[in-house]
């Protein structure tokens, strides 16, 4: 297994379905970064951007149109803060720009006086344009969020995949540093999984993987990180108080998975390697070594190892 793949994801690049690196355009990278931006931070930046555009529009006067410039903060408001925030911002800006520039066509010099019907039409067109952008960007954001969620789920087992595991491990690593806890990371490998496929068929192999995934989920807390890394390899990462509780938890997870595997007709077993530490990458590396020692010891075994971070255990 390649732990580096688990732990390294660049926002501006991502692997495609063939494993090749795809580089996003600046706009795509900005959208991806802003999608995960804290809403309070996004609100501050957007408020500053709106203020700058409005001040610039008021300074330039009605003869220079900035209608297109307003699209950027409007789109990012909907993207970062949602449709309601976009609606409030958009309608407010429409009212302000009508006050600043009048009710002319918005492209040439604004007319000083226009008929009521023309003013109503022009105001209505602006409102329609704002509403269309809000609905369009809002629908795009919902689709983006759904696809991003799907991209982090293993479709066979429902567990997180490598990408999701990396994100969740980073969250746990930061939380543990704040709460003065340690990480327990473990890797599970189904023993002789190929023989299950060969003797019972791939449908049976898929069932074994789902059984292992369900048992793993049942053995940990809802907020702990779990994943299927690929093939018959699973991983978990959680916060513990000390190495004694980490060792007990490792044994319980292995026992839970073995218990459900023993209830099947496939005679499948699993090996587990676990370790404690402060750094996810190092802890997973040690757990990986422990897993291979468990398999070398005769399989159906589990090995726990204390990580090398001083002063934490």
Catalogue the active-site residues.
Answer: 232
Q: Tell me the two tokens of residue 168.
A: 């969740």
Helices (H), the chain: 3-7, 26-35, 39-60, 71-81, 83-101, 116-150, 162-179, 193-200, 202-219, 243-262, 280-296
Question: Is-contact 185 284, C-beta < 8 A?
Answer: yes
Select from 50, 52, 154, 134 the least CA-distant residue to 86.
134
Question: Is-contact 291 297, C-beta < 8 A?
Answer: no
Question: Is-contact 258 300, C-beta < 8 A?
Answer: yes
| Rounded Cα–Cα distance for residues 216 and 235 (Å) | 9
CA 143 to chain centre: 14
Helix axes 26-35, 71-81, angle to 10 degrees: 40
Select from 285, 256, 275, 271 the least CA-distant residue to 313.
275
Select from 81, 273, 309 the least CA-distant residue to 185.
273
Q: Tell me the two tokens of residue 94.
A: 């429409």
Question: Is-contact 46 76, C-beta < 8 A?
Answer: yes
Torsion of CA 62, 63, 69, 73, to 10 degrees: -10
For residue 159, CA distances in Å to 183, 209, 219, 249 come to: 20, 11, 13, 20
């Amino acid at each position: 297994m390649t732990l580096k793949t688990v732990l390294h994801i660049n926002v501006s690049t991502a692997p495609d379905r063939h494993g090749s690196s795809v580089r996003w355009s600046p706009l795509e990278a900005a959208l991806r970064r802003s999608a995960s931006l804290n809403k309070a931070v996004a609100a501050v930046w957007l408020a500053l951007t709106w203020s700058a555009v409005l001040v610039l529009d008021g300074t330039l006067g009605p003869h220079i149109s900035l209608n297109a410039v307003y699209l950027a903060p409007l789109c990012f408001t909907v993207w970062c803060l949602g449709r309601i925030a976009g609606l409030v911002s958009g309608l407010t800006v429409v009212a302000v720009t009508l006050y600043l520039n009048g009710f002319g066509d918005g492209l040439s010099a604004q007319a000083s006086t226009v008929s009521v019907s023309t003013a109503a039409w022009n105001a209505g067109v602006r409102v329609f344009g704002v509403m269309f952008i809000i609905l369009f960007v809002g629908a795009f954001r919902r689709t983006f969020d759904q696809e991003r969620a799907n991209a982090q789920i293993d479709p066979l087992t429902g567990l997180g995949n490598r990408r999701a595991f990396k994100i969740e491990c980073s969250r746990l690593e930061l939380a543990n540093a704040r709460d003065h806890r340690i990480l327990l990371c473990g890797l599970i490998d189904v023993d002789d999984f190929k023989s299950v496929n060969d003797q019972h068929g791939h449908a049976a192999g898929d069932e074994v993987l789902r059984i292992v995934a369900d048992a793993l989920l049942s053995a940990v807390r809802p907020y702990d990180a779990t994943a299927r890394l690929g093939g018959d390899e699973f991983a978990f990462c959680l916060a513990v108080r000390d190495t004694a509780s980490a060792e007990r938890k490792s044994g319980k997870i292995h026992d839970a998975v073995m218990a459900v595997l023993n209830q099947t007709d496939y005679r499948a077993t699993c090996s587990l390697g676990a370790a404690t530490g402060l750094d996810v990458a190092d802890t997973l590396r040690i757990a990986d070594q422990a897993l291979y020692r468990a398999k070398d010891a005769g399989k159906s075994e589990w090995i726990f190892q204390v990580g090398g971070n001083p002063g934490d255990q």
